Structure 1
Amino acid sequence: MAVHSKHPASAPPGPPVREKTGHLMLRGWCIFVLFMSLSGTAWVHAFGELTATVITIAGGLLSVVLWIVLRPPVQWRRLPWFVVAYVAWATLSLAWSAWPAASALTLLLLWITTVQALFIGTVLTWRELVRAVASALKWVMALSILFELWVAVFIGEPILPGFVVAEADDPIEYWSRNNLFDFPGRLQGIMGNANLLAPVALLAIIVFAIRLASGAPRRTFLWIWMALSVYLFFRASSATAYLAAAAVAVVLVTVLLMRTATRPGERTKYYVGYAAVGIGGLLALWLARDAIFTALGRSADLTGREGIWEAVLARAAERPWVGWGFATPWVPSDPAFDKWIIDHGQTVMQAHNMWVDVAMQLGIIGVVLLALLYFAFVWRAWFFAVDRPRWDLRADRPYSPLTLLPTLVGAILLVQGLAESTPLLLWGWLFVVMLGAKIKQSPHVGVGPAEQSAAIERGDAVDSDESAPREPGGRRRGRARQARGRAADAEPSATPGATAVAEGDLAGHDA
């Protein structure tokens, strides 16, 4: 007959730790905000400009209210100050703007996107953030393929925004061109633009791969999501996205090589090789641009972009230092932009180069601030990825695949910014601010006030898919035992196994 021992060897059994309903709702809201930024113009195409504007403003106000109510820990000295400086300068440009109405409207979008980015980076831990991004990307990928399938099966012809079936003056006006079964026609997804769908699909490939490397559950479904993202990336057929993918591959290989260095100075050869490949690649791209872009089905002037750059730079030269006033994107209904530059019969809404765009809007001062912002982001993201996590004398902690995300996102945005202005708004701007601020607030995954307090206050169940190490039998270690592992890590005699538990990273291996 079995009896209970008065001196049990382990804690008595109890119900599993459940994630609090409030935090589930908070994470769901963050996923919705990320989905809004990643889906971009889909909201305008589906519901109209007024509805999309109301949803955007209401979403920003709700996040501010949640921030005030939740009061998450924030190290105010470690805010992304170059972001603050750029936003402040853009706001100040309202005083001399040549298009004050457009400046006021687009500044509201800039402020809302910035606040949303800081909010998400503050209330979510690193693992939660990557999970939330993955969830939002699943919605974008799924709705894009379902939308194209619906048009192909039930409509059978291209449709205009607002679900209108009519003949367009130019194919660029179509929301969907009904190309799903018309290979090699380009797919546009819910964004209505292949050049917007392709970089988001590339981002999805990266995020799903990071999730797989981190040991996330339901791996079969993750492989399916990655396959769908690869298909949409290929069918979007964006030349800029192909170049961004090449840059991502170079950065990823270099980071993994950097992580193998074990002696001081060993990384020098990799830096030299990285610089040689980068400079050589740019030089080859410039000298062989005719052949490269012809092979990609594009003209050597990047489909008319050089003409747009000339017109924008000519206007920028009239006010070189302070610019004409913030307007990202250009508001086509404003007299200053209406029919200023026409492409395919449509008023152009951007300069198709973020540096040229900022030079015209905010002058040389704005370009310098943006350059400092991106330099700070890329610098921190790079060392966040290549340096082994260390905050004490121990120097053998394992790398986390999650640390690859910021530097790979930076590679996408910098390449995309050469032919598009989209890194200045929507998901491009949100991710730069969100990831840059998160690195400053939490330079180590799962370690620090911003990471630990969030985990403790919310039940620490948010990281259940990755952070809790498994027992040999396959079950997760109990939270109490994890806490004892963290305590053991603080002792000078802690073993590598105990400290690996303290980090709570299932991806306990060198990438």
Structure 2
Amino acid sequence: MRLLTQGYSGLLVFSALAYSFWFNLLGLAGALALLIVLGARSTIIWLRTRRSAALTSFKPRRWLLIGVYLAFAFISVLWSSWPATTLATAVIQAGFVLQALFLVRIRRGYELASIVEVAAVLVLLLSVAMEIAVAAAGAPLLPNFLAANDVSDPHIYWVRGNLFEGGRIQGIVGNANLLAAVCVIVMILAALNVSRSRTAVVLRLLTCTMALWLLLRAGSAAMLLALIAMALVAVLTTLWSRTTTRKSRAVFIACSSAAVAILVAGAVAARGFVFEALGRSDSLTGRVGIWEKVLDRANSSPIAGNGYASPWNPWDSAFSDWITDHGLTVFHAHNMWIDIYMQLGGVGVMLLVSLVAAGVVHAWRRGTQRGVGRERLIPLMLVVLLLVQGLTESAPLMYWGLAALAILSAGASAPSRVRTGGRRE
């Protein structure tokens, strides 16, 4: 039974990382049905868990911040400019957070990290297989396997089939930026996993190589910057953990702050060269124009926002054809801070700041612990990933991004096994 529980946990993580895969495979109705089924199954397992185990493992105060955030999202339906979208998206994101809580409830941290690693590697392996199959077929693939004969815009394709011809690839998730984020997750977990057996090392070297290749083919500049930021943070964290006196820490803070300031100033001064090297324009692939329009709407209700909507509903008249890219309605603001400001106003921004700050504090404390293996850096690396991703995407506000942020902000841990019906699984 324990193996079945592990498999179910893997399915939950896979479904979170590759949520758009289920949408492209099953359609909207099928994806929602799967979400409901998984939610019901997790609820049944939770309710069958022994009361004593639940009371000792579940500590509500750890989840207070994410609870307040979601509560405010639900409450915003009262003044929302798009109440149906507010209610629907709040329910969906709450479902993802509850599944994250469920996983933390039944798995220890190191077990959950291993499950996430396996699920993420599976996403990459299936992505390679699908890219090869579509490229060999010689025709792009549309969502729900619709015929692509009369569709020439590659932005509509699920898989473009250009694996052998060059260009960005999207994998089973159907989005190059999401695929790149999963690649970075694989690289983080493979590099920092506690297992040190020779077989495991070889396998992780291979998965890291595959992830790096897919990351380069996905062509996500933000994720390449995330890798650089994570390397810098890892070095700083390691150095900090070796300082023991107040004087040495004061010197470290001064030197590291100066170094970071110089790097940021240099990047800003040479932004033209940086954009050119990353293959991006000064408008960040049209994002600047999107931010301007979103801020215009956000400023109309700066305190409580216009109503929760993560993601934006393209079928809602408030978003349909409001902001388009290549003829397609944009689903989010491509910046989590601007997006939440438009949705929940300054109150929402402060709630998000609280979540991120809590995540940073918990991750930093764990990352600077002495006498602990390198896996202690995993939470901190994930925080850096979400923060960098949030500069050009709104992904940290939804689906696996919000679930990860909830876990990190709670600094949560969990028992290694779940008791179901009085027996260990």
TM range (shorter): over 0.9
Counterpart in the other structure of 1:431:
404
Deviation at 1:214, TM superposition (A): 5.2
Counterpart in the other structure of 1:201:
183
Counterpart in the other structure of 2:267:
285
The 8 Å contact of residues 194 and 237 in structure 1, kept in 2 or not, is answered as yes
Deviation at 1:37, TM superposition (A): 1.0
Cα distance in 2 for partners of 1:258, 1:74 equals 31
In 2 relative to 1, CA 454–276 (structure 1 residues): closer, same or farther, beyond 3 Å? farther
The 8 Å contact of residues 194 and 374 in structure 2, kept in 1 or not, is answered as no
Deviation at 1:421, TM superposition (A): 0.3
Residue deviations 1:107-138 (CA, integer Å, cap 9, x gap): 11111011011111121011211111111112
Cα distance in 1 for partners of 2:96, 2:231 equals 29
Q: In the alignment, does 2:100 pair up with 1:127? A: no
Counterpart in the other structure of 1:35:
14
Q: In the alignment, does 2:115 pair up with 1:136? A: no
In 2 relative to 1, CA 308–221 (structure 1 residues): closer, same or farther, beyond 3 Å? same
| 1:338-357 superposed matches below 5 A | 338-357=320-339
In 2 relative to 1, CA 213–290 (structure 1 residues): closer, same or farther, beyond 3 Å? farther
Counterpart in the other structure of 2:93:
110
Q: In the alignment, does 2:391 pair up with 1:411? A: no
Cα distance in 1 for partners of 2:416, 2:186 equals 27
Counterpart in the other structure of 1:315:
297
Instruction: Choose between structure 1 and 2: higher helix proportion.
Output: 2
RMSD: 2.1
Q: In the alignment, does 2:87 pair up with 1:98? A: no
Counterpart in the other structure of 1:58:
37
In 2 relative to 1, CA 75–112 (structure 1 residues): closer, same or farther, beyond 3 Å? closer
Cα distance in 2 for partners of 1:453, 1:38 equals 23
Residue deviations 1:231-288 (CA, integer Å, cap 9, x gap): 1111111111111111111111111212222444433333333323333333333332
| Letter in structure 2 aligned against 1:301 | S
Compare 402-411 and 265-274 and name the one that shifted more: 265-274
In 2 relative to 1, CA 277–63 (structure 1 residues): closer, same or farther, beyond 3 Å? farther
TM-score (norm 1): 0.78
Cα distance in 2 for partners of 1:55, 1:458 equals 27
Counterpart in the other structure of 1:47:
26
Where 1:162 maps in the other structure, the secondary structure is helix
Deviation at 1:169, TM superposition (A): 4.1
Deviation at 1:430, TM superposition (A): 1.2
Deviation at 1:90, TM superposition (A): 0.5
The 8 Å contact of residues 294 and 339 in structure 2, kept in 1 or not, is answered as yes
Cα distance in 2 for partners of 1:69, 1:47 equals 30
Deviation at 1:386, TM superposition (A): 0.4
Q: In the alignment, does 2:270 pair up with 1:297? A: no
Counterpart in the other structure of 2:307:
325
Q: In the alignment, does 2:210 pair up with 1:243? A: no
| 1:376-391 superposed matches below 5 A | 376-388=358-370
Where 2:392 maps in the other structure, the secondary structure is coil
Compare 221-230 and 72-81 and name the one that shifted more: 72-81
In 2 relative to 1, CA 265–386 (structure 1 residues): closer, same or farther, beyond 3 Å? farther
Cα distance in 2 for partners of 1:215, 1:256 equals 24
In 2 relative to 1, CA 198–104 (structure 1 residues): closer, same or farther, beyond 3 Å? same
In 2 relative to 1, CA 263–453 (structure 1 residues): closer, same or farther, beyond 3 Å? farther
Counterpart in the other structure of 2:143:
161
| Letter in structure 1 aligned against 2:214 | L
TM-score (norm 2): 0.93
Deviation at 1:409, TM superposition (A): 0.4
In 2 relative to 1, CA 214–261 (structure 1 residues): closer, same or farther, beyond 3 Å? farther
Residue deviations 1:26-76 (CA, integer Å, cap 9, x gap): 121111111111113111111111101111122122212211212433342
Instruction: Choose between structure 1 and 2 for higher RCO, CA contacts under 8 A separated by at least 6 residues.
Output: 2
Deviation at 1:296, TM superposition (A): 1.1
In 2 relative to 1, CA 164–320 (structure 1 residues): closer, same or farther, beyond 3 Å? same
| Letter in structure 2 aligned against 1:229 | A
In 2 relative to 1, CA 335–280 (structure 1 residues): closer, same or farther, beyond 3 Å? same
Cα distance in 2 for partners of 1:103, 1:143 equals 33
Residue deviations 1:300-354 (CA, integer Å, cap 9, x gap): 1111111111101101111111111101000000011000011111011100000
Q: What count of residue pairs does the alignment treat as equivalent?
A: 418
Q: In the alignment, does 2:410 pair up with 1:422? A: no
Q: In the alignment, does 2:206 pair up with 1:227? A: no
Cα distance in 2 for partners of 1:452, 1:32 equals 18
The 8 Å contact of residues 214 and 400 in structure 1, kept in 2 or not, is answered as no
Where 1:300 maps in the other structure, the secondary structure is coil
Where 2:165 maps in the other structure, the secondary structure is coil
Deviation at 1:451, TM superposition (A): 4.0
Deviation at 1:201, TM superposition (A): 0.2
Out of 257, 271, 279, the residue aligned to residue 253 of structure 2 is 271
Deviation at 1:367, TM superposition (A): 0.4
Cα distance in 2 for partners of 1:82, 1:343 equals 34
In 2 relative to 1, CA 61–272 (structure 1 residues): closer, same or farther, beyond 3 Å? farther
Q: In the alignment, does 2:145 pair up with 1:172? A: no
Where 2:279 maps in the other structure, the secondary structure is coil
Cα distance in 2 for partners of 1:403, 1:257 equals 14
